[in-house]
Structure 1
Amino acid sequence: MSIALGVDLSTQSCKCIAVNVNTLHIVEASSVVFDVDLPSYQTINGMHRSNDQPPVVTSPTIMWAEALMKCLNAMQLLPSADVIAISGSAQQHATVYWKLAQGDAIAASTLEELAAFLSVHDSPIWMNNTTGRWCEQLRSAFPNGDAGLQHVAGVRATERFSVFHVAKHLSTEASTNTTKAVSLASSFATSLLAGVVSGTDFSDASGTGALALSELDWCDAVFEHLGVPNGRTLLGALTDPTVVIGRVANSSLLSRYLKSTVDILPFTGDNPSAVVGMGLTRAGDVLVSLGTSDTCIVVGHRGDESQLPPNTYTFPHPLFPRELVCHMMVYANGDLARRRVKDAHYNGSWELFSVALNETRTDGNVFCTTGPSPKVGLSLAVNEICPPISVPPSGLDVYFDGDSLIDVLSDARYYSRLAIEHRALAMVEDIAPLLLPSSSATATSTGRLLITGGASCSVAILDVFADVFQRDVWVNDTKEAAAFGAAIRAVWGTTAEGDQRASLLQRIEAQCAGRKMTSPIKYGDVTFARNHLRRAVAALTKVS
């Protein structure tokens, strides 16, 4: 049995899974939780937070290397298995600083020797929001500011993105000049396997904020405006995430667990890898994650980024980086907002919340925003980022009944429906320009709609998304989507192009298809509902 390995080096843990190359079934898995299994690093939730305001948030770089070693060591099948390839993913935006240059050998047989090659031993991670000065510097200098940057790099100047961490780091070590290369967490793991400091793949490079999407190359203007003229040299050549970069080096710290015949596919970011693990392989596919915050990812064609919503993060698709891109939007008011409605109007009962959803679907009013007295509303618990809305500590509610702004709904059943419809309609509003013309009543009707996260266990909530998107809803039970996606990419990269990859793509889609949970009730033009949503958002923005 031939095996491919997938690794996920996330914020709080490291996971490894082994996949049968022929069936794509998981045959073994291991995990290392940083706080529990590596207590000597004294992390909390996998990180260190300073007492500054805002806090500097980092993770011990060597901890990641030790976690990889422990995770591979725990895989019982490795000594005898026919492992053909390995790939992985890692938390996006985290940065690693080397005394070595790109392409230099990492001659380290111990963690102590590895540490000697690092110019700093704590890596800024995605939660480190101390780079506002550099964001403003780029925003002010880049042609057309944030809008111009998003058009080129697929993202606006945002504190968590890696290039701002790099600019800040270099400004603090200007007198010593000890950093010769910079890795992301993903390319750090690739480097450990390859035994040389290795470049970043196209998909995770987008998480730096310095990737020119149209060229799949570094954007020199970003580096220059941030005072990092040697950015290309520091970050190294970009790599195709679908191409083998080499084999496990005999000198690698990890060679004691893997044979030198194992091919290496570049590690990428956890979000791009999860796209593969969830089976989003075609333009028009949509993934909705309903959790503490809500996330929507839509797959689109490259070169169609002119109408991106302002808070979209765009990255190349890790299986088809030259043909497809993924657009990701994050909404802060996810589970917290739904719980706020449940507690305020349904005595804290999810059952009553769902009953209200079911009753308002079956009484002929599929949308609150249709019928003789259309209704729309938003209930927010925390500051929203998509779109930016300030919310007081007590929360914020805006409701319309027809054209009238009201304080209380006459039928309490509609509070739950408005809460879920708001989220679904907001996503439709944001992704419609990325699919078909927004004037089309069927702007969301093509492609797969996959829903995951805690709220996906509620069929009543899934019904709302089916109705609003006008798509069947599928649920995928994959628990480790990023690691699974990494294993799939390892198989993909070692499969010949043409008929063999076409056959593999069919197997990937079948393996990741999940379960069809519900289908939509047909309705008319969605434009009226979306117009009411725009009015409610405008009202909230004015109130805030």
Structure 2
Amino acid sequence: MYSVCGIDLGTQSCKIILYDPGAKRILAKAQAPLDIIAENNGTREQKAEWYEAALADCFAAIDPGLRATIAAIGVSGQQHGFVPLDAEGKAIRPVKLWNDTSTAVECAELTSSAGGQAALLAETGLLMLPGYTAPKILWLKKHEPQAYARLRHVLLPHDYVNFLLTSNYVTEYGDASGTALFDVRVRRWSRRISDLIDPQLIDFLPSLIGPDKPAGRVSAKAAQRFGIPEGALVAAGGGDNMMSAIGTGTVRDGFLTMSLGTSGTLYGYSDRPVVDPEGNLAAFCSSTGGWLPLLCTMNCTVASEQVRALLGMSIEELNARAEAAPIGAEGLVVLPFFNGERIPNLPNGRASINGATAANFSKENLARAAMEAAIFGMRIGLESFRKLGFAAQEIRLAGGGAKSRLWRQIAANVTGLPVRVPEEEEAAAFGAAIQALWCFEQASGKKKGIEELVDEHVALRDGSTVEPEPESVARYEEAYANYSKYLAALSLLYR
């Protein structure tokens, strides 16, 4: 018996699963928390040493006998984070994260230098937004020049875990496409955009590999540090959204995955590049060989968690209160921009409660408005998919929000699409494990496609399908229009 290991380095925690592909069952799971450095200027950072410590804690929590069965490892990581390393592979400062909005000025500078938004879309397929990696690099060069002078390697969080395991500086197309330094159409680094930051930068970027190729093998140093087999294959891995797409079965046209976590994402597989001229959908590559057009909002379950904490509610009580309120929360609207926002592009955005009256200002309506706001943010992406001719058939729901029956029903009614939930909740870690299996089998001479492996191993939860209700769909059209009214009016304050 052998197992494959999936690692998911998220924003709030590091998670590991061990999966037995022969028996099609999870053998073990482990999790370790991650802290975050947050400042009022939009700074959101973590320390690279926290990642190594969390990884070690997770492996230590798994039985040594099970760890000894690991034949291949796949790594999922939060996208866009800038892990700056010196020539010896040591981090020279904390990691700027995907939800760091302190680089709005650098985004404007790079957009202007490139010749405007249309020029950026033509060159890379992406706009220059604060979440991406490129403006973080320029920020370091401007604000911490002594640290920048030591920069020799630019890695993303998942690349850094691969580096800890193999000592190799590599990345794959999916995660690389979220840097804004990568031409998604031809899958290569854009020298033109990297030169806008520094002509030397192209030499600091990791080597590119395909999604079915190995990043390397577990080194003797890593084997000793983490208690795992030396020589185990380490797959290319990818960004958390790319791995979640595998883990939820979104590897064919027509399926969308909606992930409800700290951030909210909506993405679908495409066999061709999808560049959104409005910039709402990021034109990412997938980690299966195709493309993965994606909407990302920085504030998804953030609003509901803030409301829950403020009112001292449990998760169960929040859901019960929200369910007691009508669709549209009697006109109460939450704009959930506690962390600024990426789509719409409001790096200086602020959260607000709107439409409150003496009659509708209740715990029930506030709870429901916070939950509805998360899905209204996803609706922006769905409309962009439809404008670009993507014919969505159903939504696969992932993330913490997928556990809520009410949120599943809201998602179905706001989008007008059936919603289904995968059996395995840890979609990113599970997707990384399946990619590791794909890479392992390819290296062993087996030529199964990733689609075939997904069909074999990704199961959907029995009874999880939620169909849209025509009357509720109509009522949500009115509620979404009300949300859009406040969004349009208040966005002017935050641009």
TM-score interval, normalised by the smaller of the two chains: 0.7 to 0.9
CA-to-partner distance for each residue in 1:119-164, whole Å, 9 max, x for gaps?
625433445444344222202111223x543554454323343223
Confirm or deny: 8 A CA contact 2:106 2:139 kept in the other structure: yes
- 1:354 match: secondary structure: helix
Aligned to 1:482: 428
How far apart, in 2, do the equivalents of 1:18 and 1:218 lie? 33
1:97 aligned to 2:84?
yes
CA-to-partner distance for each residue in 1:297-326, whole Å, 9 max, x for gaps?
34344322234543x4442221x23x2314
Confirm or deny: 8 A CA contact 1:4 1:83 kept in the other structure: yes
Aligned to 1:380: 335
Q: 5 Å matches for 1:276-355?
A: 276-291=246-261, 294-310=264-280, 312-318=281-287, 320-321=288-289, 323-330=290-297, 332=299, 334=301, 336=303, 350-351=319-320, 353-355=322-324
User: Relative to total residues, which structure has the larger helix share, 1 or 2?
Assistant: 2
CA shift for structure 1 position 486: 1.4
Of residues 112, 115, 129, the one that matches 1:140 is 112
Confirm or deny: 8 A CA contact 1:69 1:254 kept in the other structure: no
How far apart, in 2, do the equivalents of 1:543 and 1:56 lie? 20
1:500 to 1:137, Cα distance in 2 relative to 1, 3 A: closer
Aligned to 1:167: 138
Confirm or deny: 8 A CA contact 1:376 1:536 kept in the other structure: no
Aligned to 1:5: 5
- 2:176 match: secondary structure: helix
Q: 5 Å matches for 1:406-485?
A: 424=375, 427-435=378-386, 446-450=393-397, 452-454=399-401, 456-476=402-422, 478-485=424-431
1:264 aligned to 2:248?
no
Which region of structure 1 is more displaced relative to structure 2, 207-216 or 239-248? 239-248
Of residues 221, 230, 233, the one that matches 2:192 is 221
Aligned to 2:73: 86
Confirm or deny: 8 A CA contact 1:337 1:379 kept in the other structure: no
Confirm or deny: 8 A CA contact 1:495 1:501 kept in the other structure: no
1:15 aligned to 2:15?
yes
User: Which runs of 5 or more residues in structure 1 are unaligned?
Assistant: 35-44, 101-115, 361-367, 369-374, 400-405
CA-to-partner distance for each residue in 1:35-83, whole Å, 9 max, x for gaps?
xxxxxxxxxx2x456xx86376543333433443443344324577442
Of residues 199, 203, 208, the one that matches 1:233 is 203
Residue identity opposite 1:233 in structure 2: D
CA shift for structure 1 position 460: 4.2
Which region of structure 1 is more displaced relative to structure 2, 167-176 or 260-269? 167-176
Cα RMSD after superposing both structures = 4.3
Confirm or deny: 8 A CA contact 1:24 1:508 kept in the other structure: yes
Residue identity opposite 1:149 in structure 2: L
Aligned to 1:509: 458
Which region of structure 1 is more displaced relative to structure 2, 533-542 or 199-208? 533-542
How far apart, in 2, do the equivalents of 1:429 and 1:55 lie? 23
How far apart, in 2, do the equivalents of 1:96 and 1:414 lie? 41
Residue identity opposite 2:257 in structure 1: L
Confirm or deny: 8 A CA contact 1:424 1:465 kept in the other structure: yes
Aligned to 1:193: 165
CA shift for structure 1 position 526: 11
1:536 to 1:484, Cα distance in 2 relative to 1, 3 A: same
Number of residue pairs matched by the alignment: 481
CA-to-partner distance for each residue in 1:478-502, whole Å, 9 max, x for gaps?
3433222211110121234655655
How far apart, in 2, do the equivalents of 1:30 and 1:165 lie? 31
Q: TM-score, normalised by structure 1?
A: 0.73
- 1:245 match: secondary structure: strand
CA shift for structure 1 position 232: 2.2
How far apart, in 1, do the equivalents of 2:46 and 2:307 lie? 33
Residue identity opposite 2:397 in structure 1: L
CA-to-partner distance for each residue in 1:84-138, whole Å, 9 max, x for gaps?
21121223333333443xxxxxxxxxxxxxxx65262543344544434422220
1:244 to 1:338, Cα distance in 2 relative to 1, 3 A: closer
- 2:208 match: secondary structure: coil
Residue identity opposite 2:73 in structure 1: I
1:149 aligned to 2:136?
no
CA shift for structure 1 position 190: 1.4
CA-to-partner distance for each residue in 1:324-351, whole Å, 9 max, x for gaps?
314022163656269869x99xxx9753
Larger Rg: 1
1:78 to 1:202, Cα distance in 2 relative to 1, 3 A: farther
1:82 to 1:162, Cα distance in 2 relative to 1, 3 A: same
